[in-house]
Amino acid sequence: MRNLELFSTASIDHLLWSSESTTPSLDSSALEVFTDFDVSRPIIVDASTSAIGTAKIMEKTHAYMRLVVDKNNKFLGIITQQQLSPHNLMITANRLSLTINELMVTEIMVPREELQAFDYNQISTAKVSDIVRLLKENNLHHMLVIDQDLHHIRGLIAASDLARKLKQPIQINQRPSFSQVAQAH
């Protein structure tokens, strides 16, 4: 075991900032705005979480979408704030003859079988402008990225991340509905 020494920061008042410009543009590679799960861990919610519990977690963390996984981290689907709205919770609870408090996240999520995604190989050759256009055309705030060769979810592209990285707003007309997410091309 190596002994490490601690030092005072009393006289240190500057932060080191990267000198590289990391602001992508619409002509940049789409990989520059892609959240790669090989680098960043995905934000998930366990399938055994209640819908109300998930809504509270997402509200506290300011998340619009989470990936839903089972106890073995197998991808089951996605949940968005739209599905967790009080109106949608009430409709689903009534349809299933449950109370809102009895609803599980799996009963309100969009299952993976109904989702569309970008392919990583396409993203690797696309420009940011291609991604922005597709998100706008399909009124999508998020799009999963899959690696078809390895059969896994590789990452995510979010309009909010794009806007932050591009330092410009990206206007998506509306939050995606269940049918829009399921039918996106």
pLDDT reported for residue 20: 57
Task: Tell me the two tokens of residue 157.
Answer: 């592209």
Task: Please provide the size of the chain in residues.
Answer: 185
Q: Is the per-residue pLDDT at 95 higher than 50?
A: yes
- The CA distance from 4 to 144, in Å, is 42
Phi-psi category of 151—alpha, beta or left, where left has phi over 0 and alpha has psi -120 to 50? left
pLDDT tens per residue, range 114-166: 888 999 999 999 999 999 999 988 888 889 999 988 888 999 998 888 888 88
Looking at every residue in the chain, the average pLDDT score rounds to: 87
Question: C-alpha dihedral over 71, 43, 28, 181, to 10 degrees?
Answer: 70
Predicted TM-score of the model (pTM)? 0.76
Q: How many CA atoms lie within 13 A of 157 on its CB side?
A: 30
pLDDT at 2: 83
Unique residue bearing structure tokens 């609803």:
103
pLDDT at position 147: 92
174 pLDDT more than 80: no
Q: What is the largest CA-CA distance in the chain?
A: 64
77 neighbors 18 (Cβ within 8 angstroms) = no
Residue 134 carries which DSSP code? H
Query: Rounded to a whole number, what is the distance in angstroms from the first to the last CA of the chain?
Result: 55
pLDDT in tens, 29-62: 899 888 999 988 999 999 999 999 999 999 999 8
pLDDT at 17: 67
Please give the pLDDT value at position 185: 47
User: Has residue 183 got a pLDDT over 60?
Assistant: no
- As a whole number of angstroms, the distance between CA 142 and CA 139 comes to 9
Give the rounded distance of the alpha carbon of 54 from its chain centre.
14
Specify the pLDDT at position 18. 59
47, 111 contact by CB (below 8 A): no
29 forms beta bridges with 127
State the pLDDT confidence band at 93, using cuts at 50, 70 and 90: very high
More confident residue, 37 or 181: 37
The two three-digit tokens of residue 140, written as one number: 């999508």
